[in-house]
Amino acid sequence: MGVVGDARGSRSLEEPTGRTPHAPPRTFDDVYRDERPKLVRVAFLIVRSQHVAEELVHDGFVRLHQNFADVERPGGFLHTAVVHLCLTWLKRRDMEHERLQRLDEPADPEQEPDELWDAIGRLDPDRRAVLVLRYYEDLSYEQIAEVIGCPVGTVRSRLNRGVADLRREIEP
């Protein structure tokens, strides 16, 4: 899936095929080759673990493979699936972390030496995902709403609150 600009300079989630209207459709292998590296980067920025990011992207491709014949925009399907898988993984991880704390067992979250990434990692997963999609992927509010499956107003709210939370985390 690519973000492309039209003549007015706006961006959309339409997939550039680079093919004429009569060219054969993309195969699963084409989609895998084109989309995997970008999806792993996005997933890594959301979950902050390379191994987990690769697993979640793999799971997204498994879902695509199961529905490939019915999917019109495989890149868009994958982007949405991977973001949802990342958010689900983060929520599950947080729940497990809370339960471990109740049992007084130490849980070792992954540590990043970068203060900004540490602060981003402490944000609410929904806000973190919106920040990554907006500032790393450079998606519009409408595109983020489409990927996450929520209203544009919710995207704006999560983004504003995420930036405010990030400022509080970083400023002394």
Are 125 and 157 part of one and the same domain?
Answer: yes
Task: Give the confidence band of 23 by pLDDT, cuts at 50, 70, 90.
Answer: low
| Same-domain pairing of 79 and 120 | no
Q: Which of 142, 111, 113, 147 is nearest to 129 (CA)?
A: 147
Residue 19 falls inside a structural domain: no
Better-scored residue on pLDDT, 152 or 21 = 152
User: Which pLDDT belongs to residue 60?
Assistant: 97
- Bridge partners of residue 11, in order along the sequence: 5
Per-residue pLDDT reduced to its tens digit, 120-139: 888 899 999 999 899 888 89
**105 and 163 share a domain?**
no
Q: Which tens digit of pLDDT belongs to each residue from 145-156?
A: 999 999 999 999
92 and 133, same structural domain?
no
Element (H, E) at 13: none
Mean pLDDT of the chain: 82
- Three-state SS for 44? helix
Residue 86 resides in a domain: yes
Which segment of 28-32, 64-68, 93-97, 158-162 scores lowest on mean pLDDT? Answer: 93-97
Tell me whether residue 3 is in a domain: no
The answer as to whether 5 is a domain residue is no
Backbone phi, then psi, for 25, in 5-degree steps? -65, 160
Stretch 41-61: mean pLDDT, rounded? 97
Say if residue 138 is in the same domain as residue 151. Answer: yes
Report yes or no on 170 lying in a domain. Answer: yes
Cα(9)–Cα(96) distance, integer angstroms: 44
Q: What is the mean pLDDT of residues 45-60?
A: 96
Per DSSP, the residues of 48-90 read --HHHHHHHHHHHHHHHHHHGGG-S-HHHHHHHHHHHHHHHHH
Strand-pairing partners, residue 5, are: 11
Residue-wise pLDDT tens digits, 57-114: 999 999 999 999 999 999 999 999 999 999 999 999 988 887 766 655 444 555 445 7
The CATH number linked to 120 is 1.10.10.10
Selected residue with higher pLDDT from 55 and 4: 55
The count of domains in the chain is: 2
For residue 46, the SS3 value is: helix
Q: Which tokens is 102 given?
A: 């109740």
Q: Is the torsion defined by CA of 92, 93, 98, 103 positive or negative?
A: positive
Instruction: Report the pLDDT value the prediction gives residue 103, as an integer from 0 to 100.
Output: 58
Range of the domain at 41: 27-110
Backbone angles phi, psi at 11, to 5 degrees: -115, 150
Q: In Å, how far from its chain's centre is CA 27?
A: 23
- Under the banding of pLDDT at 50, 70 and 90, the label for residue 2 is very low
pLDDT at 110 (0 to 100): 53
For residue 47, tell me if it sits in a domain: yes
With respect to residue 128, please indicate whether it lies within any of the assigned structural domains: yes
